[in-house]
Structures are given as C-alpha cells and as structure tokens.
Amino acid sequence: MKNNNQPDFRQTILWRIFRIMAEFVDGFGKIVDFPKSVSIFGSTRSRENNHWYQEARKLGAMLGKDGFAVVTGGASGIMEAGNRGAFEAGADSVGLNIQLPHEQESNKYLTDSLNFHYFFTRKVMLTYAAEAYVYFPGGFGTLDEFYELITLIQTKKIRKVPIVIVGKDFWQPLLDYMRNVVSEKYKNIDEDDMEIYQLVDTAEEAFRIIQKSVKELQKNGRMDFNEPTKNN
C-alpha cells in the first residue's frame, strides 16, 4: 500500500533534475559575461598572514589590472585572496559558492556571485569558467579540481589550456609520485601527460605563463568543451 505521507519518488527526482538544470542555466548565463577570466583554487584554511594567501592576492591583482576577471569558489583562504587582489584592482571578482550544512559564507571581495546546491554543477562552472587555471596549496577539494581538469585535457574533452600549480614545496612530492610511480613504474599515464601542467613558485611566474598562453588561445576563440563526436 502506498504511503500518502511520503513524497512520490518520481516527483522528487524530477524536481532535482529541474533544479540541476536551473543551476546550469544560471551558471552559464553568468560566466559568459566575462570574456577573459582565470580560475584560482586553493585551501580555505590559509589566513591573511600565510605566504600563499599573499601570493594569490598578488596574482589576483596582476590579473585584474590586465583585464582578467578572477573566478574562485567564493569562500575564504586562497579563494578570498585571489578575489581580493582582483577586487582591489577594480576588476571583476566572481565567486561560485557551494551551499553546505555548515554555512560557507562568501568572502567580501566579490563583485558577482552565484550559490550552488550541487557540487558537480559548481564544478562544471569552475571548469568551464576560464582561459587559465591556477592551483595553490590546498586540500581534497583543490586536488579534486586539479585532477578533474587535467583528466579532461588528457582525454581531449576540453582544449589544452594553461594549468599552473604554484608552490614547489607543496606540489613537488605529488608530481614526483606521479612521474616515478604512476608513469614510470606502473605505466598508467604517459610522459606527455605530465606536460599538461606547469609548476612555479611565485605569482609573477604564474602571471607570465597565463599572459603568454592566453594570447595564443585568443587567436582560436574562447576555451570551450570539444564538440562531441561519434566516438565520444
């Protein structure tokens, strides 16, 4: 016997589908407003006196002065720092925040923001949002975003775009593991796959790579998902 006090399963699923579609529509509608942008990722736990916070803030300012919008997850730490640099430079500073059971507040350095209920719709927006991607030291979320993007490039689901990882002391052990174990020992990735990203130690180095690479990308138009083929 049907329990009339329980929501209909099909209606619940349909409602979720509509909500997901709405998040995609709102997200894509927002990010297309910014013809030139860079996404910055990193730990929410980095405070203002942290070295990488200051480097992210510096990079945000340099990008903002060069006409880039800076896009982040909209929260604290490295995300706040990147937004802050762009905001203080008078540039577009965009936050794509996630709604969590324990409230995650947006940082105060945003000129535009969107809130997402679903992690995967937010991830698609962050993946699509920019002409270049910068990863500072961070936790599981930062690593998740990093591997997501390099996998999309490796599998040719998106064009090759600049992937810059900042902080040699943090990233080098992981890169050594990927080269020595994943690539050389187990042959699970190719040598060329490790050329998808570039490792630097300063905001200035990251900015130079982005500036040069984006000029080349702009000759071919905005980065986008590849058109599907019969083999996709």
Number of domains composing the chain: 1
Q: What pTM value is reported for the model?
A: 0.89
Within-domain flag for 78: yes
Domain that holds residue 77: 10-218
Phi and psi based region of residue 74 (left: phi greater than 0; alpha: psi -120 to 50; beta: remaining): left
What whole-number distance in Å separates Cα of residue 66 and Cα of residue 69? 9
Within-domain flag for 127: yes
Within-domain flag for 223: no
- Residue 6: Cβ within 10 Å count: 8
Within-domain flag for 205: yes
Within-domain flag for 231: no
* The predicted structure's pLDDT at residue 35: 87
Two structure tokens written together for 124: 């698609």
Number of H helices, E strands in the chain: 7, 7
pLDDT mean over 104-121: 94
* Whether the predicted pLDDT of 205 surpasses 90: yes
Within-domain flag for 4: no
Within-domain flag for 228: no
Per residue in 14-60, pLDDT (tens digit) is 889 999 999 999 999 998 899 899 999 999 999 999 999 999 999 99
CATH number of the domain encompassing residue 192:
3.40.50.450
Within-domain flag for 229: no
Q: Which residue has the tokens 């329980």?
A: 6
pLDDT band at 76 (very low <50, low <70, confident <90, very high): very high
pLDDT band at 224 (very low <50, low <70, confident <90, very high): low
